[in-house]
Amino acid sequence: MHTMTLPTRPLGTSGLTLTTVGFGAWAAGGGGWSFGWGPQDDSASIDAMRHAIAQGVNWIDTAAVYGLGHSEEVVGQFLRTLTARDRPYVFTKCGLEWDPQDRMKVSRRTLQPDSIRRECEASLRRLGGERIDLYQFHWPDEGGVPLEHS
């Protein structure tokens, strides 16, 4: 398969060189949660990721909250089909804790250090990897945690 060459830019001083377009995996989380895009077919989501990478995209963006973990699981399924050489950069986010008893309840915004550690470990498990290339705060903390503590 022919891979296109897409324009790239450095991400600040991180050492990462990213294509100017990436693959957003919000919809891959599916429906049944407060900000879901409706039902999705996991195989179609994986096919879409595969197509994006074949076109030269070198990063996938997801978040723990997308599908309440499901998007990261689908991205992880896709990543396991690739060799290390073909793996795109993987970006995910923390800071939104959901209520597993009420999937439609809006997530709580927290950047407590212990919460970030738990979320990161859970994201790594769902992604099935040992690293996250860019780990981002999804939203500001609503409880007053100073940014420097996070």
Residues known to be catalytic? 66
Written as six digits, the tokens of 83 are 């060799």
Nearest-5° Cα angle at 117, 71 to 108: 65
- Which of 89, 68, 74, 110 has its CA nearest to residue 11? 89
Alpha helices by DSSP H, the chain: 42-54, 70-79, 113-127
Helix axis angle, 70-79 to 42-54, nearest 10°: 50
Residues whose CB is less than 8 angstroms from the CB of residue 70 and which lie 6 or more positions away in sequence, other chains included: 28, 29, 30
Residues whose CB is less than 8 angstroms from the CB of residue 97 and which lie 6 or more positions away in sequence, other chains included: 107, 108, 110, 115, 119
